[in-house]
């Protein structure tokens, strides 16, 4: 399910990600960085996506792989846009 379009959709969901460097420690060629990261919680999309994805799969049984990929792409975009 992780195709290029899915990756693009999730990356766009993380455009609001921010971080703050709290502490750094460098020892030779290694560094440890302590961060505070704020990012959208995309895990809330999975239950809705799975529910609608299963309904979509059953209601479109027999369609070609290309048609199903297009339906999946549209579903992902619609779920992310409305949230």
pLDDT tens digits, one per residue of 30-73:
999 999 998 877 777 777 777 777 777 777 777 787 887 777 77
Higher pLDDT, 24 or 82: 24
**Reported confidence tier of residue 19, pLDDT bands at 50, 70, 90:** very high
Whole-angstrom Cα distance, residue 13 to residue 80?
8
Contact 6, 31 (CB under 8 A): no
């Amino acid at each position: 399910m992780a195709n290029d379009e899915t990756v693009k959709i999730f990356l766009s969901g993380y455009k609001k990600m921010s971080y703050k460097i709290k502490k750094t420690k460098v020892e030779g060629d290694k560094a440890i960085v302590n961060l505070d990261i704020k990012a959208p919680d995309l895990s809330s999309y999975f239950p809705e996506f799975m529910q609608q994805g299963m309904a979509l799969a059953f209601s479109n049984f027999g369609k070609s792989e290309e048609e199903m990929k297009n339906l999946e792409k549209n579903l992902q975009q619609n779920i992310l846009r409305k949230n």
